Amino acid sequence: MVHTAPDHGVDDFNACLKYGIKPFCPVDEKGVLHLEKDDPLNGLFYEEANDKVIDMLTNLGLLLKEEDIVHSYPHDWRTKKPVIFRATPQWFCSISPIREQLLKEVASINWVPSWGENKMVNMIKDRGDWCISRQRLWGVPIPIIYNEDGSPIIEEEVFDHIINIIKEKGSSAWFELSEEELLPPNYKNKKSPHGLFKKEKDIMDVWFDSGSSWNGTLLNRGLKYPADLYLEGNDQYRGWFNSSLILSTAFSNVAPFSTCLTHGFVMDEKWQKMSKSAGNGVDPNKIASIYGADILRLWAATVDYRSDCRIGESIIKTVVDNYRKIRNTFKFILGNLSSYVEKEASSLTFSTVDKFILSELERVKNKALTSYENYDFASVINPIVNFLSSTLSSFYLDISKDALYCDASNSSKRDAICFVLNKCLKTLTLLLNPILPFTMEEVHSYWPSKNKEACQLEDMPRITHVYDESVQKAFSSFISLRDEVLKALERERAEGKIGSSVDASIHLSIKDDLLYSLFCSESNEDIASYFIVSKLTYEKGEKDSCIVSIDEDDICPRCRKHFAKLVDHNGIKVCSRCNKALGEHE
Which residue from 154, 152, 106 is spatially nearest to 127, judged by alpha carbons? 106
Q: Which of 87, 120, 155 is the last residue of a domain?
A: 87
Cβ atoms of residues 84 and 31 within 8 Å: yes
Measured from the Cβ of residue 179, the count of other Cβ atoms closer than 10 Å reads: 15
Lowest mean pLDDT among 28-37, 183-192, 526-535: 28-37
Same domain, 428 and 544: no
Residue at a domain's end among 231, 247, 263: 263
What are the tens digits of pLDDT across the range 93-111?
999 999 999 999 999 999 9
Check residue 452 and give its pLDDT. Answer: 76
The Cα 584–Cα 219 span in angstroms is 68
Tell me, yes or no, whether 563 lies in a domain.
Answer: no
Residue 510, domain extent: 474-552
Q: Which residues contact 521 (CB under 8 A, 6 or more apart)?
A: 352
pLDDT value of position 257: 98
Q: Can you tell me the mean pLDDT for 227-248? A: 96
Q: Are residues 328 and 247 in the same domain?
A: no
Helix, strand and coil content of the chain, in percent to the nearest 5, comes to: 50, 10, 40
Give the C-alpha separation, 534 to 501, whole Å. 8
Please give the distance of CA 334 from its chain centroid, rounded to a whole number: 30
Task: Provide the residue count of the chain.
Answer: 586
In a domain, 231, yes or no: yes
User: Are both 498 and 360 inside the same structural domain?
Assistant: no
Q: What is this structure's pTM?
A: 0.81
Cis, peptide link before residue 226, omega less than 30° from 0: yes
Q: Are residues 346 and 392 in the same domain?
A: yes
Residues 356 and 448 placed together within one structural domain of the fold: yes
pLDDT in tens, 452-477: 788 888 889 998 876 677 777 888 88
426 is a domain residue = yes
pLDDT in tens, 122-142: 999 988 999 999 998 889 999
Residues 52, 107, single domain; the answer is: no
> What CATH number did the domain enclosing 33 receive?
3.90.740.10
Q: How confident is the model at residue 586 (pLDDT cuts 50, 70, 90)?
A: low
| Residues 215 and 97 placed together within one structural domain of the fold | yes
Residue 90 has pLDDT above 60, yes or no: yes
Round to whole Å and give the CA distance between 191 and 197.
10
CA–CA gap between residue 217 and residue 370 (Å, rounded): 29
Instruction: Look at residue 1 and tell me whether its pLDDT is greater than 60.
Output: no
Instruction: Find the CATH number of the domain harbouring 333.
Output: 1.10.730.10
Q: Are residues 354 and 252 in the same domain?
A: no
Residue 467 lies inside a defined structural domain of this protein: no
Q: Return the SS3 of 567.
A: strand
Query: Would the pLDDT of 21 be above 90?
Result: no
- Cα(555)–Cα(578) distance, integer angstroms: 12
> Could you report the per-residue pLDDT of 357-386, keeping only the tens digit for each?
999 999 999 999 999 999 999 999 999 999
Instruction: Report the CATH number at residue 531.
Output: 3.30.2320.20
Position 430 confidence tier, pLDDT thresholds 50, 70, 90: very high
Cis peptide before 82 (omega within 30 of 0): no
Same domain, 122 and 230: yes
Residue 398 placed within a domain? yes
Let me know whether 60 and 114 are in one domain.
no
Asked if residue 375 belongs to a domain, the reply is: yes
Considering the domain architecture, whether residues 453 and 539 belong to the same structural domain is answered as no
Give how many domains the chain has, as a whole number.
4
Determine the pLDDT at residue 176.
94
* CATH number of residue 239's parent domain: 3.40.50.620
